[in-house]
Chain A
Amino acid sequence: MAQAGEDGMESDTQLLDRYAAGEEPAFEELVRRHKKTIYDLAYRMLENHADAADMAQKTFVQAFLHHRSFKRESSFRTWLYQIGLNLCRNAIRDRARLAHEDVEEVTLTAPHDTFAEVANGELKDRLGEAIRTLPTRQREALVLRVYHNHAFAEIGTIMSCSEGTAKANYHHAVDRLRLILVAGEGLP
């Protein structure tokens, strides 16, 4: 069995090795460590609980299904982010296509669900609307930087682009939000 790290905790890759050997507790621990991060990412990209829960679940399923494809050139968490973002992009694309096909679906917002309506008013205000209008890549950079505190190099790895591109996406996102909010609320 792999040795634990200096802090006594097994690393993600050690847990993944144990999972590959068929050990149930390693699976549980990997999910426990990263479930909230991935759910948060999915929620901020998809804006409702039902889709976020579904996407977070799919992210882990894909990761465990294809764990041998993980090259270990990045951290397991970064790999989860990559899978999660890809799934979110697909979902956003599908939503846009459905909205285009259905003339009554005039916005790209997610289907209503009770949980979101009751518990989350904040993403529905003007700022939420402003964030929603951001291009997907800018939004990804914003979420990864502001809410998940990643360095731009890491954001570049997750988004499969250069550090400079990640930084540019983030700066454009902030600038765009500023313009929208200034126009809407008379900020300086």
Chain B
Amino acid sequence: MICSEIKEFTVPYLELDLEPVRVREVTIHLDGCAKCRAEMEAVRQVLVRVKGVTVPDPGDQFWSEFPGRIRSELAHAQMKGQGDVTPLRRPISARSWLGTAMWPMALAASILLLIGAWSLKGLVEKGPVQAPTEQTVAQAPQGSQDLPHPTDADLETYWDDDPDTVLVEMAARLDRRTVDRLFGDI
């Protein structure tokens, strides 16, 4: 092997990427050629120095935010109609569901249902209409005195004629404390 041929094998020789036969030929040449040995050493130094160049780690915060930034840009691109992305399905949590615009409507519907149930319960269970006595008021559970009274004759009288008005009247009697107690867990 001559000097001009050695150049071609310098890098693979240093990277142990040569066939054993070639390695032997290069080694024999290097043993007898100071100029090629110097060339080989120069290339070795370059490779060592190049390999030593590091990339600084941008830090934990960058990496923790990285997927979110991709997701955000992906969603933006999807909205613009780019690509062929299948929208990701996230697990549906109670928090995310309540975060939508549906919850005020659901709350209102719940209030109306409860009021309706109270009214119907009073109509079905009670016999002849009686005026409230001090005793029945005193026996009422704590915190229930601000509720529409179950023996409210006026409301029962008007129920058959105009139930909507009765419901509105009963709803008007609900104070903040009662609403909080009823729906505090929602």
Interface residues of A (CB under 8 A from B): 19-24, 27-28, 31-32, 35-36, 39-40, 43-44, 49, 53, 56-58, 60-61, 64-69, 115-116, 119-120, 122-123, 127-128, 131, 142, 146-147, 170-171, 174-175, 177-178, 181-182, 187-188
B6, chain A: closest CB distance, angstroms: 13
Of chain A, the residue at the smallest CB distance from B45 is A187
Whether B53 contacts A123 by the Cβ 8 Å rule is yes
State the majority secondary structure of interface residues on A.
helix
B52, chain A: closest CB distance, angstroms: 8
A–B Cβ pairs within 8 angstroms, 28 of them: A19-B88, A20-B86, A22-B86, A22-B89, A23-B88, A23-B89, A24-B88, A27-B88, A35-B63, A39-B58, A44-B55, A61-B70, A64-B83, A123-B53, A127-B50, A128-B53, A131-B53, A146-B51, A147-B51, A171-B11, A174-B11, A174-B50, A178-B42, A178-B46, A181-B46, A181-B49, A182-B42, A187-B45
Whether B84 contacts A49 by the Cβ 8 Å rule is no
State the majority secondary structure of interface residues on B.
helix
Of chain B, the residue at the smallest CB distance from A125 is B53
A-B contact count (CB 8 A): 110
Whether B53 contacts A22 by the Cβ 8 Å rule is no
Of chain B, the residue at the smallest CB distance from A43 is B55
Count chain B residues whose beta carbon lies closer than 8 angstroms to a beta carbon of A.
40
A9, chain B: closest CB distance, angstroms: 19
Is B112 interfacial (CB 8 A cutoff)?
Answer: no
Given contacts A49-B58, A53-B58, contact A60 B70 (CB under 8 A): yes
| Complex: A115 Cα to B89 Cα, angstroms | 36
B39 CB contacts on chain A under 8 angstroms? 188
Given contacts A40-B55, A170-B11, A187-B42, contact A27 B71 (CB under 8 A): yes
B76, chain A: closest CB distance, angstroms: 9
B93, chain A: closest CB distance, angstroms: 13
Contact with A along B23-64 (1 / 0, CB 8 A): 000000000000000110111011101111111101000110
B18 CB contacts on chain A under 8 angstroms? none
